Amino acid sequence: MPFTALRPHLRPTIRLAFPVVLSQLGHVLVNVCDSVMVGQTGKLPLAAVSLGVSVATVVMVLGMGLSMGITPLVAAADGKRDVPQLGRLLVAGVWLSVVAGLVLAAAGLLIAPLLHHLNQPADVVALAAPWVRVLFLSLLPLMVFQGFKQFAEGLGLTRQAMYLSVLANLVNAVLCYAFIFGNFGAPEMGMMGAAWATLIARVLMALLMGTYVLRAARLRPYREAATHWLRPDRATLRRLLGLGAPIGVQMMFEMGAFSFSAIMIGWLGATSLAAHQIAINVASVTYMAASGIAAAATIRVGNLRGLGDVQGARQAGFAAYLLTFLFMGAMGLLLVAFRHYIPHFYNNDAAVVAQAATLLLVAAAFQISDGLQVVGLGALRGLEDVKVPSVVALLAYWAMALPLGYWLGFGLKMGSLGVWLGLLLGLTLVAGLLLWRFRQHSAVAAGAARPAPLVTH
């Protein structure tokens, strides 16, 4: 597609994406803060955090995916100016998010006792289990936040979640510093302090985001249309589930692959697991930035499709692809340049730093693939195309990437490097298939929406 067709979409996409990028970074910066501060207490607690995050993230992204079905439906309804439908989506979206949050929070009580079955070092599991229980409790307020956030973002209101994410990260950082090391008169709790800090910060996020949506004057028409808060519309709930469940499953397949890679690396010992945590922590920062552009693509594509401008929706999707390619390419170069320096922010163990630097080189190699696959998912969500991407993720990660990573890591004795090379293959394959899918699907949709030529006699 020529650049002249994409140019009008670049500025609106950037304007939408920038706040979403900061908001999405808020989720991962909580883990970055936890890892950096816990890493100062030793490589064993850092390895325990790696195990805990790996397990919790798989469950967390399932819930976040469920809530992400709200945004394209809200964007399409907003494009049609369908206020009653927006009211129904507000109620159903909040209900879905709250119920999902309760289920996910309760899951921590079941999962923590099972960690020893993952064949991880016993001292790592002993530290990780109580940390996981508290972290899972924070999934309830996180899902409440997501329900209100995804509704607001579907309307193009992205700055509010950005401000709240920045505030919550500041609160989390201060509380981590207080609870982990016993500063400001707080008890010295070690790595458990990071889990409690995350819970408190996420409760604050949920309260403030809910207050904004339920009190803001500009959202009054949608609240007035939401007449049945205690009885959500069943058809709307089913539609949200039909769209959100495949998104959650796709995200779970992807994050599950990364989490299982951490489990495999844990079989190599605490040093390898700590190095993995550093590298995946850094890669997740750039990933969430690309995820913000993907969220903007969902909003733009969904809104333009709702307006009936399918060709414009196609152009908006490719504009997001271009922005992601440029951004992630730059991030890859930075990781190559600073791979020997970044690990020292987390831990100074020489063996951990050396392994992390090697893994960061692989992370640099998959930056573009990682960015393009997530923006492809975002653009396809705007077209309400979510089921095929789930199948693509399942096959690429679990049928190819993980088996290859296991063979390279353990069969060829390449260790954690081999596991990461398998992930590189999976990301590249998914990126290519989703790009092809968006290109074909959007072309068909644009062709179907084009008016038939007049026939004259």
pLDDT score for 31: 66
| Dist CA 128 CA 274 (whole Å) | 13
State the greatest distance between any 2 C-alpha atoms of the chain, in Å, as a whole number.
88
| Dist CA 348 CA 22 (whole Å) | 29
Could you state, in order of their start, the residue ranges of all structural domains in the chain? Answer: 3-448
Helices marked H in 339-386 — which ranges? 350-365, 367-382
CA distances 123 to 10, 56, 277, 340, 432, Å, are: 50, 19, 17, 28, 41
Asked whether the beta carbons of 32 and 277 are under 8 A apart, the reply is no
The total number of residues shown for the chain amounts to: 457
pLDDT per residue, tens digit, the chain (457 aa), is 677 778 888 888 888 878 777 776 666 667 677 777 887 777 788 788 878 877 888 888 888 888 988 988 998 888 888 999 999 999 999 999 999 999 999 988 888 888 888 888 888 888 888 998 999 999 999 999 999 999 998 898 888 888 888 888 889 889 989 999 999 988 888 889 988 999 999 999 999 999 999 999 999 999 998 878 878 889 999 999 988 888 888 888 878 888 888 889 888 888 888 888 888 888 888 887 788 888 889 888 888 888 888 888 889 989 999 999 999 999 999 999 999 999 998 888 889 899 999 999 999 988 999 899 989 988 998 888 878 888 887 888 888 889 999 999 999 999 999 999 998 998 899 899 999 999 988 887 666 555 444 444 3
In which element (H, E) is residue 8 found? helix 3-39
Question: What's the token pair of residue 153?
Answer: 């973002």
